[in-house]
Homo-oligomer: A and B are copies of this chain.
């Protein structure tokens, strides 16, 4: 633990002491001087009784500042809200930036949402109601309506005055959006440009007239791509008529990028990788659905092998290479899947040629299959002094890898076309599917050469 962490630990202990002593003045002083993230960490470590005290010590506004930054799972946020006084909770949600309040409200029942909205001040309630309508994972669902907008025909001085008055509520003041009379987005100017330029300069002369924007229905991953590519701190969101509706800030985009990476990674591993429990029963209950599903898929491979049991009984040497062929094809299929998922995630709309992508994967499969097949031909041929066996294994490897590469790219593309997240066509699924085809290929090729194997070992 380094110095800074020790400092934080000490502060946490002090806060807890003051809270439990009921020393409201000193607690407030220390708590409000603490960064909101650390406030949140402190709050999350409290017992129910201690949290109750905090609700009495802090205003809904102050509580809201802290809740902006808490990223907790559904169950706990619901618990926290329910232990607060109804009006207190409504005031707190109303004081938060609309996008963060919406994130919390979305985790509740419809009836609860209504209750809170009814108790909230009208302006906040309306803002939140508007945002609640947008589909999950779109720009609309993650934007906030608290931004600063001005008109073009004014000076830097008057723009700064507007900025100053709106600064306390706006989620970012570092970009000022320029609109015309019907709220159409016509430009953007950064606070840096406002500060650098003369007070008498006209906004219309300084602003960028080609503001980059996203549309309210855009997928949140496309928004992330825009912010990342352009190194923006925020991006404006417009409707189909170019009217400015809100903005999306970079901190929300970091969460989107994180979630996306986690879900891709989870998909490939067949497990929710953000599993934080240390209780093995809970962990097992989350992993078992995938394992058991794959077990039954694996049973189809077993029953397929079972059909060739007579061949195995006649030439037991065949059994030796089953897992080598299924394993290698599975590895190739996983590589192909991961590349395809990534290409689909970073594709520009309408710029991906799926046919070309699949063809390129088949060709890659043929080349890797050929190299791997020739390698194993020599290895097996020399090891078992049997080049016919080597040829069978090599041929099976070539075909199985090519098919696995095809499946690894085709399945995520199909998922994407059908509107599913291609990352869910996950690693273990491709591996198990490729087991099935590999076994089929292997025994059918082996069958052609059975006369050479009978009695071999």
Contacts and interface: CB of A to CB of B under 8 A. Distances in A.
A447 interface: no
Interface string A232-255: 010000000000000000110111
A18 interface: no
A323 B324 contact: no
Given A35-B210, A230-B37, A338 B273 contact: yes
Contacts of A254: 227-228, 250, 253-254, 257
A320 interface: yes
How many copies the complex holds: the figure is 2
A381 interface: no
A368 interface: yes
Given A173-B192, A254-B228, A364-B287, A305 B319 contact: yes
A123 interface: no
A212 interface: yes
A147 to B, nearest CB: 14
Contacts of A281: 367
A55 interface: no
Contact of A316 (B280, B313, B348, B383): B313
A309 interface: yes
B328 A375 contact: no
A231 interface: yes
A173 B372 CA distance: 56
A367 B290 contact: no
B271 A298 contact: no
Contact of A368 (B4, B37, B284): B284
Given A269-B335, A342-B274, A287 B319 contact: no
A134 interface: no
A113 interface: no
A340 to B, nearest CB: 9
A258 interface: yes
Contact of A173 (B195, B268, B363): B195
Contacts of A301: 323-324, 327
A291 B372 contact: yes
Contacts of A90: none
A99 interface: no
A108 interface: no
A226 B82 CA distance: 30
14 contacts: A33-B208, A69-B231, A160-B195, A250-B254, A257-B261, A273-B341, A280-B364, A283-B364, A290-B335, A291-B328, A295-B328, A299-B324, A306-B320, A319-B319
List the 7 closest A-B pairs by CB distance, nearest first: A261-B261, A269-B338, A280-B363, A313-B316, A319-B319, A271-B335, A284-B367
